[in-house]
DNA sequence: TTGTATGCGTTATCAC
DNA sequence: GTGATAACGCATACAA
């Protein structure tokens, strides 16, 4: 492996000059620059990233916290982050937490110890005081509405997305609407709940706690949802479902039991995943790949001031409403 | 950030001694070891990984090449790799190739330039001569049967898995059996094709090229499969399908068109993904998470001799046959 | 069993 | 414009 000193010798200049052309700094004559460039080409030189990192005091590593790596929602987010990271010569440190707070703290600790340059938390379990404590050690970026906090984020307005879906169902004549989520504690879930509550109040609909079904995350959870709906004395006529993955499960289960969709039960999913397109599921599109890219850029190129970035969502009308 | 020199002062020893206890080397008295340990605890010391890396000439980075990051098969593999990598303080560099050879070459180049310590190729596009050329620059690990090559691998015996599935269908009375794959050129696909050919010969069944449907990768491809089957003058009575994801798509489409499964069409998927369990799809189980872990260990702790590691598969009988 | 001194390959400071 | 040289923090050969 040829190094910067070898290059200097080959080009007949000093290491400083080599470093200058390597980093395209000013103050180097065209003549010497070309000599160095030639030497680089001839020797097939590549900088030793370890030395660069040590010298710069940076790791070029970005931590990514997700509850589940192999879940369609998060793997799509990771895809976006990874694509942008590669472009900027950053590497990923993937933390799968399973929503275990200790796992998330491990990631936060790595930030504190400067083992990573920044941390992206795609879905959070630790409380605000914890996050805010670690904020002083390095950039933390979230994927939820943080406008009331001093933490940067790229987020989707789940309140608006949910409301749009609800209004659409109302317009279609539905008055008994339920919804599925994974966990009720997350910010995104809370925003969805808030929209639901406001919607109920606005149209003076009755509130039925049964209509809110939690722990829905995978395709196979769709079956549980249909189970519950079938057991209700007064079942909903429409359901907003966690994600298209789960919505697809609901639709599949419903078919198996001769529940007609949308006649017996209308369904709206989220994310506009490929599966929603194939199964003609009406959905709220969330551009996850794009969000992943934004999260990365925000996580690395961050100023002192928190920066909030909202990504718009779109209702995609298909066959399940 | 306190460093090794600060520790030495605090403990009243030399940096060498500190380094020794840090790396649990022998030849350090219990007395001094404890002083150092105390200093470490007190100062909340963490080694600067950049310095460690530079000094050791290693990056502690492992490259992972996949065609698609957000595909259930590969994201599960990544999950296994990431889990094991984290345990060993390694970080991931994710390359999504989309089966573009240049992308794969980028990863290979990084290995050559010592930008990563090892490379795991989960699905390969480049030819053997290319792989073998880069083998001299660092450990490369594959996820396909490489027993006729000098490249290490953790692999599934797709020949055996396919044959098991075929024999099972034969036993159930099927004589017109087709199969779906993504691409025909991969080693794994070739092994499946070989099993199919041997099976056909063994039972003297007629070979119908129509029965082999390629480019099946996602749930939504299941619909195309059903389309094709319906258009055949002499359709197969059973289908081995790329993955459970695609199998689920086939089953869903079949339901939508009142094709009875398994009566009109029997289906066997692969991987035993959660979706297969939910939809009661008969499948060949492939332990992807476990394979991912093995791939990592193999990729990092590799001797000079190539090492081949076969992972067994199991037929899981459910309702689609 | 311990410590000194050197190297790892860069970047950055400063004098020229 | 240019070039010595000092960090950066750790591992290790070698001397003691």
DSSP assignment of B177-199: EEEE-S-SSSHHHHHHHHHHHHH
Which fold does the domain A56-156+289-311 belong to in CATH?
Rossmann fold (3.40.50)
The answer to whether A185 and A165 have CB atoms below 8 angstroms apart is no
Which tens digits make up the pLDDT trace of A195-234? 999 999 999 999 999 999 999 999 889 989 999 999 999 9
Q: Given CB atoms, is A70 within the 8 Å cutoff of chain B?
A: yes
In angstroms, the Cα distances linking B280 to B249, B275, B320 are 13, 8, 7
Interface mutation vs chain A, best among B47, B63, B68, B70, most A CBs within 10 Å? B70
**Nucleotides on strand C lying under 7 Å from protein C-beta:** 1-5, 7-13
What the block records as the tokens of A284 is: 């709220």
Residues in Cβ contact with A131 at an 8 Å cutoff, skipping those fewer than 6 apart: A108, A121, A124, A140, A142, A149, A151
> How far does B174 lie from chain A, in Å, by closest CA?
25
Residues in Cβ contact with B52 at an 8 Å cutoff, skipping those fewer than 6 apart: none
Percent of chain A scored above 90 by pLDDT? 89
By CB neighbour count within 10 A (0-12 exposed, 13-18 middle, 19+ buried), where does A169 fall? buried
Q: Given CB atoms, is A96 within the 8 Å cutoff of chain B?
A: yes
Beta bridge partners of A141: A120, A152
> How far does A18 lie from chain B, in Å, by closest CA?
19
The strand order across the sheet containing A266-271 reads A212-213, A177-180, A238-240, A266-271, A283-285, A314-316
Considering only CB atoms, B70 lies closest to which of A49, A72, A252, namely A72
- Residues 103-122 (B) with a CB less than 8 A from some CB of A: 113-115
Which tens digits make up the pLDDT trace of A96-140? 999 999 999 999 999 998 889 999 999 999 999 999 999 999 999
CA closest to D13 C1', residue: B16
SS3 category, A278: helix
What the block records as the tokens of A301 is: 């190129």
For residue B295, give the nearest of B69, B72, B77 by alpha carbon: B77
Q: Given CB atoms, is B278 within the 8 Å cutoff of chain A?
A: yes
Instruction: Show the CA angle centred on residue A68, arms to residues A66 and A72, nearest 5°.
Output: 105
Domain assignments of chain B as residue spans, ordered by start:
4-47, 56-156+289-311, 158-285
Residue A166: DSSP 8-state: H
The answer to whether A254 and A282 have CB atoms below 8 angstroms apart is no
SS3 category, A138: coil
Computed over its alpha carbons, how large is the radius of gyration of chain A? 25
**What residues of chain B lie within 8 A of the CB of A50, using their CB?**
50, 53-54, 57-59
Q: Test A92 with B96 for CB contact under 8 angstroms.
A: no
Q: Test A220 with B275 for CB contact under 8 angstroms.
A: yes
**Which phi and psi angles does A110 have, rounded to 5°?**
-60, -35
pLDDT for A9:
94
pLDDT for A190:
94
Following DSSP, what letter does each residue of A19-52 receive, concatenated? HHHHTT-S---HHHHHHHHHHHHHHT----HHHH
Give the chain A residue whose CA is nearest to the CA of B116: A49
> How far does A147 lie from chain B, in Å, by closest CA?
29
Rounded to whole angstroms, the Cα distance separating B102 from B304 reads 27
Question: Is the bond into A114 cis (omega within 30 degrees of 0)?
Answer: no
CA closest to C1 C1', residue: B27
| Fold match between domain B4-47 and domain B158-285 | no
**CA to C1' distance (Å), from B73 to D2:** 56
What the block records as the tokens of B97 is: 């190739």
- In the predicted model, residues of chain B with pLDDT beneath 50 are none
Which tens digits make up the pLDDT trace of B100-113? 999 999 999 999 98
Which tens digits make up the pLDDT trace of B181-201? 999 999 999 999 999 999 999
The answer to whether B97 and A82 have CB atoms below 8 angstroms apart is no
What the block records as the tokens of A237 is: 């006529």
- Residues 156-195 (A) with a CB less than 8 A from some CB of B: none
Alpha helices in B88-185 (DSSP H): 101-112, 128-134, 158-171
- Residues 190-229 (A) with a CB less than 8 A from some CB of B: 218-220, 222-223
**CA to C1' distance (Å), from B15 to C1:** 14
**CA to C1' distance (Å), from A55 to D3:** 19
The answer to whether A126 and A148 have CB atoms below 8 angstroms apart is no
Question: Is residue A255 scored above 90 in pLDDT?
Answer: no
The domain defined by B158-285 carries CATH number 3.40.50.2300: yes
CATH assignment of A4-47?
Answer: 1.10.260.40
Which tens digits make up the pLDDT trace of B123-141? 999 999 999 999 999 999 9
pLDDT for A275:
87
């Amino acid at each position: 492996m040829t190094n910067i000193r070898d290059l200097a010798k080959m080009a007949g200049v000093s290491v400083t000059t080599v470093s200058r052309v390597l980093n395209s700094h000013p103050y180097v004559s065209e003549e010497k620059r070309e000599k160095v460039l030639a030497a680089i080409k001839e020797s097939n030189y590549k900088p030793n990233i370890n030395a660069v990192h040590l010298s710069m005091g940076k790791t070029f590593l970005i931590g990514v916290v997700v509850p589940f790596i192999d879940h369609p929602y998060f793997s799509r987010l990771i895809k976006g982050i990874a694509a942008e990271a590669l472009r900027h010569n950053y590497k990923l440190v993937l933390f799968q937490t399973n929503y275990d707070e200790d796992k998330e703290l491990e990631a936060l600790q790595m930030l504190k110890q400067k083992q990573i340059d920044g941390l992206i938390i795609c879905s959070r379990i630790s409380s605000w005081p914890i996050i805010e404590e670690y904020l002083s050690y390095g950039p933390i970026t979230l994927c939820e509405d943080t406008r009331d906090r001093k933490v940067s984020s790229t987020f989707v307005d789940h309140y608006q997305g949910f409301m749009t879906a609800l209004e659409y169902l109302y317009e279609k004549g539905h008055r008994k609407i339920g919804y599925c989520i994974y966990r009720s504690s997350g910010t995104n879930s809370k925003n969805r709940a808030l929209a639901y509550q406001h919607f109920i109040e606005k149209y003076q609909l009755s509130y039925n706690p049964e209509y809110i079904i939690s722990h829905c995350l995978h395709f196979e959870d769709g079956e549980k949802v249909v189970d519950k709906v079938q057991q209700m004395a007064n079942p909903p006529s429409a359901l907003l479902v966690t994600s298209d993955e789960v919505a697809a499960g609901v639709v599949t289960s419903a078919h198996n039991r001769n529940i007609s969709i949308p006649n017996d039960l209308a369904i709206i999913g989220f994310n506009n995943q490929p599966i929603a397109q194939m199964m003609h599921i009406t959905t709220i599109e969330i551009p996850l790949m794009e969000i992943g890219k934004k999260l990365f850029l925000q996580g690395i190129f961050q100023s002192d001031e928190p920066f909030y970035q909202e990504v718009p969502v779109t209702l995609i009308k298909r066959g399940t409403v």
